[in-house]
Structure 1
Amino acid sequence: MARYALVIGIAKYDNITNLPKAVNDAENIAQLLKEHGRFDVQPLPGKLIESENRWQVTAEKKLLGKELGQALRMFLLEKAKGSEALIYFAGHGFEAPSLTGEPKGYLATTDCHKDGQNAIAFDDLNTLIAKSQLSSLVVLLDCCYAGSLLERSFIRSSFPVFNREQDYCLITASRAFERAREDAEGGIFTKAVIKGLSQDKADVTTGEVNANDLMSFVSRELKGSGQEAIYMGGGRSIPLVFYPGNNQVAIGVVSEECPYRGLQAFDKEHAKFFFGRQKVVNLIQQKLTQANFIPIIGASGSGKSSVVLAGLIPQLNESEWQVLDPIKPGFEPLIKLRGAFQKFFPGAKKEKLLKDLIENEINDVAAILENLPSSVKFLLVVDQFEEVFTGGASQQEKQRFIELLTQVVDITDSRLAVVITMRADFLEPCLHYSSLHHLIQTQAVFIPPLTGVDLKEIITEPAKLQGHSVEEALLLKILQDVKQEPGFLPLLEFALTKLWDKRDQKKHQLTLEQYEKLGELAGALNLHAQKVYDYPDFEDESPTQQRTQQEKEWIRLIFLRLVRTGEGEKDTRQRQPKATLLNIAGYDPNQQEQLSELLDGEAGLVKGRLLVTGKDEKGEAWIDLAHEALIEGWQTFREWRQQDRDLRRLSDRLADSRREWCNKGKSEQYFIQGGLLAEVRDSWQQLQPYVQSPQEDEDFYQRSDNHEKSWTAELEMALTESRLREKAARVENLLTVQPLESLVLAIQTMGENQEKLPQQILAPVQNSLSRVTNKARVSIPFRGHEDDVASVAISADGQTIVSGGGDGTVRLWNLQGQPLAEPLRGH
């Protein structure tokens, strides 16, 4: 494709100081683009060097506003139409107030005036760019206030050029309020650009220097210079210059290292194999020049983590950014956040300070930044942000974590920026946090599905980098299959990894034949997972050793513990400490050793690429699913998840409550109680296979249960005492008007006291009985016994009297002394 460059260097000015060095800068750029950029260069103002039959930028000519305006129009709308275009400008730039008083940026021409007359307004340049139909565009502006083009003109117009399909890169020498500086040789920005485009800065393999590489280098080069280069870009990173490369495929060098990542995310160690997402990476980097909080939202399996870990971070590591170790919120997001800043707070005293800064709500994130090096810009990446909502943290901890992260937008010139990655199906919980909701609305980058050239790149380019090829028939088949599989990316990456293992090693090629044997896109993961589940010798083509039933049951429980059971069928993965998973085997050391071998031994689940392992900030081992794709992609696992969902949800809630209890100093205020305790009590035996830490969970449950029983007993005692005192008072009130009822109630109250509070006869009860027996005179004869009456009792409702006598009978009476039934004899 044709490549055209318009290189402008203006030395002569009628109303402003001349800039003789601008011509030298422009000519150096022009020669570089001709020799190594494959550009057809148009210099302005130009002079023909007849002896060499070429044009060059000259200091002898003026460049009037009308001439430059026409040249820009012709170049953008006609000459470079459908082609790759580059515009370079060296000269004066300035701002002047518009009629409304707002500052407006201009490129200075020879005959311009300080009010903007005869100058090229950035707004007009923006309009021309928006109208152009270019394949790609690069703009390099080395002039004062050049950032006005990006920070004001394009922002006011809502980036019309950025909404198009073309690739673009715009780099300015300074911000809207800064002057561009010169040294003895020329503009320091152009000097950095030329240095950044030199052969020693080219990619070793391709021999290219692209726009992103250039911006990263220029940013570092200008650090501390008093001016800051500004970048905006979109689409692919545009190659600017080309030098001879060391292309492995071209010279036949073959590497056996697998360039695909299976179910694991790409990271900075594997960035060279990461393809297909350059447009998104560029967009995120562009947004980081404008905002301090960037949410990256995408469907499960869309590659969000890889975009950041293998795309953005390596690109930023080449700039002025210092990227903190990425974190995942997990069960305790505030502790994870503490870990991100831990290295800046060495020693016990400072560790305690950091803990207070993060947990104490009177502090904000600015207080943390005060303790970080002042000359560095930091980036914090929070991967799998949805764990804030699924990890079981308390509402208070969730709120504090989100507040601290989102506070970066309130800090002027914040030295900390935050990038989060989150599954799109967790947007709803974000609505409950106003600051987070607003930032998602205004700053989010949504990960689009991979299509077209980008999709082909992730299939073919990693193999090509290793000296291998992808059979054309295989490529066509995969492209057809992905159309049938929503969220296909992890399945595709896994299938490619398996294909690499089965590649034709003579032809150095991935083939359609092996793809079909693997079960194609939809079946490869399921077949592999089932094979690892069934056979310890799963790496053999035809395995023969069967796993024991004990091992299979352990695998079932392992996988169920590595997901958090959601409402309905919405489950998410949750990593677990290895020590917690070993509890599945009970407390027999031999059994735990066998389970450990099953997890990450030679024939284990980590070796089988179904699980991944690592260590947390305390050095303790953890285990996690290799990817969420296993949740739906492995049929057996899907069937397991349908069983006992209520019990597994209850186990998660119990574990969450226990963790919060531990975090709160094991205060009895954080025992489980009420409905949750009742559920655990009723389901304790059925819950046993799913409790995450049997001893700890049982201890927590028993403490909670005993606490509630003790509290209930105390409450019942208090209610009983209150009720007895009330009855004793009624005895006194009835004594003069209804002596019989008073006597009956006094006897009944004493009986209840002896039964329910045997350790304590209440004084009001005893006194009321004493008074009523001394004062009440009731003459109702009870006739029927033929011998002495030995005992009398009154029913609980006070309506029936029972008596037992020496004549061997038990008789029932009403309050009027009338027998209620035949006597019971023989007693």
Structure 2
Amino acid sequence: MARYALVLGIAKYDNFTNLPKAVNDAEHIAQLLREQGRFDVQPLPGKLIESENRWQITPDKKLTGKELGQALRIFLLEKAKGAEALIYFAGHGFEAPSLTGEAKGYLATSDCNKDGQNGIAFDDLNTLISKSQLSSLVVLLDCCYAGSLLERSFINSGFSVFNSKQDYCLITASRAFERAREDAEGGIFTKAVIKGLSEDKADETTGEVNANDLMSFVSRELKGSGQEAIYMGGGRSIPLVWYSAKNQVAAAVVSEESPYRGLQAFDKEHAKFFFGRQKVVSLIQQKLTQANFIPIIGASGSGKSSVVRAGLIPVLEKNGWRILEPILPGVQPLAELKRAFTQLFERTEIREISALIDTEGLSTVISKLTGSERCLLVVDQFEEIFTLGSQEEERQRFIELLTQVSQGRLAIVTTMRADFLEYCLNYESLTQLIQEQAVYMPPLLGAELEEAIASPANLQGYQLERGLLGTIQQEVVGQEKGCLPLLQFALTELWEHRDQQAYQLTVVKYKELGGVTGALNRHAENLYESFTEQQQDWVKRIFLKLVRTGAQAKDTRQWQAKTKLLSIAGENRDEQQVINDVLEKLIKERLIVLDCELTGEVWVDLAHEALMEGWERFAKWRKTGQKLRRLRDQIEDALRIWEEEPSDENLMMGGLLAKVQEIWSELESDLDPAAREFYQQSDAQEKQRKTAETFYKIHLSENSA
């Protein structure tokens, strides 16, 4: 696609101070865009150098308002129509009051007055852009008060590009209250832009520097300079320049490592196989230039965790961010949060840092780290804060700590299922941040879906047989909700049955495996049928224990300690070993996963929530006995509270105990020994209380008589 750039550098002014360095800045930008950006560059004010067939900025020539207005009109409405467009401006920017007293923003031309006459009003530029038919637009403004021009003139006037479907990126040199500074070489913003577009900043695989990469670099480069770049954008992150890739994959090289992830999320180690989500990753990057708390919200199976772990984190690390170990809230969210931060310090400092989190918050802790880089904490599966039984006081404090990071070096990204949005409405600070900063996961469709399916195999030297891509797409389209894990699982299975002679993934094998919707169910059923009748019963109990049974069918997965799952067999060591063997087989076949804490405790989880619907037998299990399982979860929640403080006041009592007593015979076999003992102790205390109450009533009656 054609790319056109209009590069403006105005040095001569009638009513403002001259800016001789603006011409040099514009000339450097023009050269870079021409040589590395594949742009057809028109610099103004300029002249044509016929011997080199290119335009060059003329330092001593003025650029009048009439000339610039006409140039912008021709550029936006005619020359760049249907193409990628870039506008760079180096010169004066100013505000002047309108007849109504409202401030209006202007680009200063050589003959403009300070009241705005002959200047280029941003309202007029907005009108031109609204009439244009561009593929994409990049605007770089190196002028004083540029942030004011962007925020007031563009946004307040309803700058049309923000509501359009085209890709856009607008970067200004300074905030509304700041001047754009110069040093001996020129504008420090433009110098940062040129440095950010240099070859050593290019992606090693693609050789590209895009708009998000540039903004991240410029922000760091201007830190402490007295001015701060402002960014706004939408759509994909627009490539600006290209260089030769340093790590090109040889086309003839074939690798047999699976490029697909089954039911597991993509992570940093598998980022090279993660395709199709550049737009949403770019959007999150853009949000992080404006705010420190970004919630990512989407349906189960929409790829939220993969976008953060394999998309966002590698990009931020490349741009100099410090990444904390991602956490899941779990049953003790505050402990998980403290663990993420205390690991950054020496063991002797852990107690101090933990206390500091309690009293001062997270930003204060980050300020104690050496360096000036921004830090990122990812809170994955944020809905666990509502589902895994933490007490309300702890839940409120956890949310408070996360949402109080509006300033400073620390940024927080959370991922959450969309069906838990209602729960967030009870927390004002969280609700407000979701309204202002949330990124909603879009469906993976069209070219992006094709890329996610075919590119990982291509990277390994394999091709999709003709017709396979269309067959997969036809099955996936319309089944988007929760479909990505099923798609990845089907592709993983297909990879394991690939044609290693022809280096192909084939249509016949795809259909044999059951396609996207059938591959997981077929795989899980074959594995289930391989177990004995007793083992099948244990598999059912294992899987149901790994589900938190919610109201209104909002089931979620929940971690369980491996020791609790082994206790399904009671105290029989031989049977516990058989259950352990069952767990190992489920792990090997990618239906469940393990994680280990620093304490050595081993935890078990479903490989993905997609199993709850994708395996038909499991879906049927979940529809029966829901009342009993919800009560079991409540017992285990109460047990956790009691284990933290084993006092009589924390035993089961009241309505919960009455419910358990009523159906104890049905519940007993499904509880582990600790939960059964907890109930028995609670029941015994309740009986003692009732006996004492009866004795007191009799004694009182006798005395009255």
2:181 corresponds to which letter in structure 1? R
Q: How does 1:517-532 map to 2 (within 5 A)?
A: 517-532=512-527
Residue from 653, 662, 674 that aligns with 2:634: 653
Is residue 718 from structure 1 mapped to residue 699 from structure 2 by the alignment?
A: no
Q: How does 1:96-135 map to 2 (within 5 A)?
A: 96=96, 104-135=104-135
CA contact (8 A) 1:193 1:214 kept: yes
2:654 corresponds to which letter in structure 1? G
The 1:609/1:93 distance shift into structure 2, 3 A limit, reads same
Q: How does 1:541-620 map to 2 (within 5 A)?
A: 547-600=531-584, 604-616=585-597, 618-620=599-601
Provide the residue aligned with 2:399 in structure 1: 402
Give distance in 1, aligned partners of 2:380 and 2:126.
Answer: 36
Provide the residue aligned with 2:154 in structure 1: 154
CA deviation string 1:288-308 (max 9, x = no partner): 333333222211111112222
Residue from 495, 503, 506 that aligns with 1:500: 495
Give distance in 1, aligned partners of 2:230 and 2:261.
Answer: 34
- Off by >6 Å, runs of 4+ in structure 1: none
Q: How does 1:5-154 map to 2 (within 5 A)?
A: 5-96=5-96, 104-154=104-154
Secondary structure of the corresponding residue to residue 594 of structure 2: strand
Give distance in 1, aligned partners of 2:527 and 2:73.
Answer: 64
Give distance in 2, aligned partners of 1:289 and 1:461.
Answer: 30
Residue from 460, 464, 469 that aligns with 1:470: 464
Q: Report the Cα offset of residue 658 of structure 1.
A: 0.8
Is residue 700 from structure 1 mapped to residue 678 from structure 2 by the alignment?
A: yes
Q: Report the Cα offset of residue 346 of structure 1.
A: 4.2
Give distance in 2, aligned partners of 1:247 and 1:407.
Answer: 41
Residue from 479, 483, 492 that aligns with 2:477: 483
CA contact (8 A) 2:303 2:484 kept: yes
Give distance in 1, aligned partners of 2:361 and 2:695.
Answer: 48
Is residue 637 from structure 1 mapped to residue 637 from structure 2 by the alignment?
A: no
CA contact (8 A) 2:363 2:409 kept: no
Provide the residue aligned with 2:322 in structure 1: 322
CA contact (8 A) 1:469 1:509 kept: yes
Q: Higher relative contact order at CA 8 Å, sep ≥6: structure 1 or structure 2?
A: 2
CA contact (8 A) 1:91 1:142 kept: yes
CA deviation string 1:582-621 (max 9, x = no partner): 2223334444344334323xxx212211112222354532
Provide the residue aligned with 1:771 in structure 2: none
The 1:213/1:366 distance shift into structure 2, 3 A limit, reads closer
The 1:352/1:591 distance shift into structure 2, 3 A limit, reads farther
CA deviation string 1:689-717 (max 9, x = no partner): 422xx232123222222222222222223
Q: How does 1:371-520 map to 2 (within 5 A)?
A: 375-409=372-406, 413-487=407-481, 488-520=483-515
Give distance in 1, aligned partners of 2:701 and 2:348.
Answer: 56
Residue from 680, 685, 699 that aligns with 2:660: 680
Provide the residue aligned with 1:690 in structure 2: 670
Secondary structure of the corresponding residue to residue 587 of structure 2: coil
Q: Report the Cα offset of residue 675 of structure 1.
A: 2.2
Q: Report the Cα offset of residue 364 of structure 1.
A: 5.5
Structure 1 unaligned residues grouped into runs of 5+: 536-546, 728-827
Larger Rg: 1
CA contact (8 A) 2:591 2:606 kept: yes
CA contact (8 A) 1:357 1:364 kept: yes
Q: Report the Cα offset of residue 103 of structure 1.
A: 5.3
Give distance in 2, aligned partners of 1:697 and 1:59.
Answer: 83
Give distance in 1, aligned partners of 2:692 and 2:157.
Answer: 71
2:688 corresponds to which letter in structure 1? S
Secondary structure of the corresponding residue to residue 472 of structure 1: coil
Secondary structure of the corresponding residue to residue 408 of structure 1: coil
CA contact (8 A) 2:379 2:412 kept: yes
CA contact (8 A) 2:356 2:365 kept: no
The 1:229/1:6 distance shift into structure 2, 3 A limit, reads same
Give distance in 1, aligned partners of 2:700 and 2:284.
Answer: 68
2:638 corresponds to which letter in structure 1? S
Secondary structure of the corresponding residue to residue 605 of structure 1: helix
> Mean Cα displacement is larger for which, 167-176 or 387-396?
167-176
Q: Report the Cα offset of residue 626 of structure 1.
A: 0.9
Q: Report the Cα offset of residue 558 of structure 1.
A: 1.6
Provide the residue aligned with 2:605 in structure 1: 624
Give distance in 1, aligned partners of 2:149 and 2:601.
Answer: 51
CA contact (8 A) 2:84 2:136 kept: yes
1:438 corresponds to which letter in structure 2? Q
> Mean Cα displacement is larger for which, 94-103 or 329-338?
94-103
1:44 corresponds to which letter in structure 2? L
Give distance in 2, aligned partners of 1:117 and 1:377.
Answer: 43
CA contact (8 A) 1:209 1:239 kept: yes
Q: Report the Cα offset of residue 353 of structure 1.
A: 5.6
Give distance in 1, aligned partners of 2:387 and 2:165.
Answer: 37
CA contact (8 A) 1:249 1:468 kept: no
2:696 corresponds to which letter in structure 1? A
Q: Report the Cα offset of residue 636 of structure 1.
A: 1.8
1:275 corresponds to which letter in structure 2? F
Provide the residue aligned with 1:736 in structure 2: none
Provide the residue aligned with 1:764 in structure 2: none
Give distance in 1, aligned partners of 2:596 and 2:124.
Answer: 56
Q: Report the Cα offset of residue 56 of structure 1.
A: 0.7
Aligned-residue RMSD, C-alpha:
2.6
1:398 corresponds to which letter in structure 2? R
> Mean Cα displacement is larger for which, 651-660 or 178-187?
178-187
Q: Report the Cα offset of residue 484 of structure 1.
A: 4.4
Q: Report the Cα offset of residue 31 of structure 1.
A: 1.7
Give distance in 1, aligned partners of 2:417 and 2:190.
Answer: 42
CA contact (8 A) 1:354 1:368 kept: no
Give distance in 2, aligned partners of 1:339 and 1:150.
Answer: 41
CA contact (8 A) 1:345 1:351 kept: no
Percent of residue pairs bearing the same amino acid type: 65
Provide the residue aligned with 2:529 in structure 1: 534
Q: Report the Cα offset of residue 355 of structure 1.
A: 4.8
Q: Report the Cα offset of residue 721 of structure 1.
A: 2.6
TM-score between the two structures when normalised by the length of structure 1: 0.80
CA contact (8 A) 1:219 1:319 kept: no
TM-score between the two structures when normalised by the length of structure 2: 0.93
1:671 corresponds to which letter in structure 2? L
CA contact (8 A) 2:570 2:673 kept: no
The 1:319/1:207 distance shift into structure 2, 3 A limit, reads closer
Q: Report the Cα offset of residue 680 of structure 1.
A: 2.1
Give distance in 1, aligned partners of 2:624 and 2:99.
Answer: 71
CA deviation string 1:480-517 (max 9, x = no partner): 11134242211111111111222222332222111101
CA deviation string 1:150-184 (max 9, x = no partner): 43333324553122221122222222222333333
Secondary structure of the corresponding residue to residue 663 of structure 2: helix
Q: Report the Cα offset of residue 373 of structure 1.
A: 5.7
Q: How does 1:235-250 map to 2 (within 5 A)?
A: 235-245=235-245
